[in-house]
């Protein structure tokens, strides 16, 4: 399960050319443990872009739920399956540059 989740996580959101300038720096903060049914904050508020503004944040959680993109630097996610679940953040700036960070959450049966 872990290898499949991480493989899925690595492939989602790939592709695209980098633009000119300095890429943004993605910083993902999320608690490392929760129970099935637990809701955690996916926090990208410490992400930054030295030469512009971050245009959007894409959160990818490798638990079978759809990836989602938002202009807000944080979101909540409810975990519906147990295991070691990969979480990935991809940010893009106005020039098309991207930054990425990831984490793993241990989701336990209650």
What tens digit of pLDDT does each residue of 46-90 get?
A: 999 998 899 999 999 999 999 999 999 999 999 999 999 999 999
User: Greater confidence, 12 or 98?
Assistant: 98
Kindly state which CATH superfamily the domain 2-12+24-108 is placed in.
Immunoglobulins (2.60.40.10)
How far is Cα 80 from Cα 93, in angstroms, rounded to an integer? Answer: 31
What tens digit of pLDDT does each residue of 78-108 get?
A: 999 999 999 999 999 999 999 999 999 999 9
How far is Cα 42 from Cα 60, in angstroms, rounded to an integer? Answer: 10
Going by C-alpha positions, the residue among 44, 35, 110 that lies closest to residue 76 is 44
pTM for the whole thing?
A: 0.83
Residue with the two structure tokens 């993902």 = 28
Measured in whole angstroms, how far is the alpha carbon of residue 49 from the centre of its chain? 17
Helix or strand or coil: residue 88?
strand
């Amino acid at each position: 399960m872990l290898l499949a989740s991480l493989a899925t996580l690595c492939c989602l959101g790939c592709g695209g050319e980098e633009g000119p300038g300095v890429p943004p720096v993605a910083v993902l903060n999320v608690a490392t443990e929760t129970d099935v049914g637990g809701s955690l904050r996916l926090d990208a508020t410490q992400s930054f872009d030295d030469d512009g503004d971050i245009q959007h944040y894409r959160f990818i959680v490798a638990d079978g739920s759809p990836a989602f993109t938002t202009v807000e630097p944080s979101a909540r996610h409810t975990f519906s399956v147990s295991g070691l679940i990969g979480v990935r953040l991809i940010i893009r700036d106005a020039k098309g540059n991207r930054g990425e960070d990831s984490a793993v959450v241990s989701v336990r049966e209650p």
